[in-house]
Amino acid sequence: MNNKLRSADVFKPLYQPMRYKGAWGGRGSGKSHFFASLVVEEHYNTRGTRTVCIREYQKSLNQSAKRTIETQISLHRLGEADGFRSYSDRIITPGDGLIIFLGMQDHTAESLKSLEGYSRAWVEQAEMLSQKSLDILRPTIRAENSELWFSWNPRRRTDPVDVFFRQGDMPANAVCVMANWRENPWWNKTLEAERLECLNNQPEYYDHIWEGDYEKIVSGAYYAQSLTAAKGSGRISKCYADPLLPLKAFWDIGGTGARADHTVIWIAQFVGREIRVLDYYEAQGQDLGTHVQWLRKNGYQDALMVLPHDGAAHDKVFAVSYETALRSAGFETQVVPNQGRAAASTRIEATRRLFPRIWFHQPTTQGGIDALGAYHAKRDEQRLIDLGPEHDWASHAADAFGMMCVVHEEPKSRSDRPYQHRFHKGSWMSL
């Protein structure tokens, strides 16, 4: 047998015995081929080994790792004479070993009890694995010296597999490597052409697809091209406040309670024609006092609070508006009037116009940038019609950001800005 035929140097740490093994990165890194090769090697070297190959969703074996493993069996020059026989739904290996394939969504903890004798589980496309599936799988694969392997292209920081391996302290009995196309010794001209085609024609998706970055821009996002241009020109990096100019805090107001919309605040500064976006805050179900505490803790007590039109309305629980409550807390406030039925499109168009002049301080605004990259239209796929912005987790950040751009574009004539006033120490002063 040609041992470790497809092993690149980046995967060497994964050969050591370990309960949890992970490999993450972009397309063309060879992650799937490495684990498929490792499956074949272990079944060849240890007779009677049992492995389950898992995806969260698997409607057919065409969506499984079966073909990749069969390719590795062929590359290792193994066949029936060596004990490897491939059937429609499984692969038999030496010493009555077995490789099977399943989707976690088709099973429960009870139906997975038959896997207790399996010593290996490989989760492919693990970014799709739910927390429930991960919680079921871990105690199910419990034979002595059993191992769980995970390969994935990162999607979101909050994906369970990413939290398990990359957010915070990794378990002591785990090892994880990053692998991208640069680490692939079998890189070829076809793959390079694919990579460059994506870089040139879909730059907004390139980092996620090929470099293993988080999925920051979804298909059809309103600001996909704008964000790509901002990153390419270095405007998503670091920027700082001008100490001689005022700060502004742009709000989208949520509410209290477990099901309330999120409250969002962007901290920004207008420096001539330029907008510097300095900080981002988001919370759900918290009362006004929590938001005020964040503002004061971070030194924004002198910033102008810019509220949407509902900031002047009374809270459903307390007979006081956000505008009144913030004034009582000593903040200067400004309420932007209702922009009518076209409010959403007005915000979107203003944002697109101003994006070339917007700079982000990335260390403190990445959560908001992610939301802007995910802000997209509802779509009737049958008729290929956009139905307006989707109201989801990303829309709150986008609404506040869009309001910031609308305010920045307001006419310069005093008579054209009837609502542009500030509250100074209990009295109104026209700007």
What pLDDT is recorded for position 380? 66
What pLDDT is recorded for position 428? 33
Q: What is the pLDDT of residues 24-62, one digit of tens each?
A: 999 999 999 999 999 999 999 999 999 999 999 887 777
Please give the CATH superfamily to which domain 9-183 belongs: P-loop containing nucleotide triphosphate hydrolases (3.40.50.300)
Q: If you ran DSSP here, which 8-state letter would residue 221 be given?
A: B
Amino acid at 363: P
What pLDDT is recorded for position 229? 87
Pick from 74-78, 171-175, 214-218: least confident: 214-218
> Cα 282 to the chain's mean position, in Å?
16
What pLDDT is recorded for position 342? 82
> What is the mean pLDDT of the segment spanning 68-94?
94
Residue for token pair 């392997």:
149
Quick one: what percent of the chain has pLDDT higher than 90?
Answer: 63
Residue for token pair 């898992």:
54
What pLDDT is recorded for position 339? 78
What pLDDT is recorded for position 341? 77
Most confident of the ranges 82-91, 248-257, 304-313: 82-91
What pLDDT is recorded for position 410? 76
Q: Could you tell me the pLDDT band of residue 285, with boundaries at 50, 70 and 90?
A: confident
> What is the mean pLDDT of the segment spanning 379-386?
68
CB 24 within 8 A of CB 176: yes
* DSSP secondary structure of 5-50: TT--GGGGGGGS--SEEEEE--TTS-HHHHHHHHHHHHHHHSTT-E
End-to-end Cα spacing for the chain: 80
Domain ranges of the chain: 9-183, 236-430
pLDDT at 409 over 60: yes
Q: What is the pLDDT of residues 170-197, one digit of tens each?
A: 888 999 999 999 989 889 999 999 999 9
Architecture of domain 236-430: 2-Layer Sandwich (3.30)
> What is the mean pLDDT of the segment spanning 14-27?
96
Q: Could you tell me the pLDDT band of residue 421, with boundaries at 50, 70 and 90?
A: very low
What pLDDT is recorded for position 418? 40
Q: Could you tell me the pLDDT band of residue 417, with boundaries at 50, 70 and 90?
A: very low
pLDDT at 216 over 80: no
Higher pLDDT, 261 or 33: 33
**Residue-averaged pLDDT of the chain:** 87
Closest CA to 90 of 51, 59, 117: 51
What pLDDT is recorded for position 215? 78
What pLDDT is recorded for position 231? 86
Residue for token pair 């020109």:
233
pLDDT at 429 over 50: no
Most confident of the ranges 40-54, 60-74, 404-418: 40-54
Higher pLDDT, 249 or 207: 249
Q: Could you tell me the pLDDT band of residue 419, with boundaries at 50, 70 and 90?
A: very low
Tell me phi and psi for residue 284, to 5 degrees: -130, 130
What pLDDT is recorded for position 381? 63
What pLDDT is recorded for position 431? 30
What pLDDT is recorded for position 199? 87
What pLDDT is recorded for position 430? 31
What pLDDT is recorded for position 224? 84
- What global pTM score does this model have? 0.63
The rounded distance, in Å, linking the Cα atoms of 304 and 288 is 16
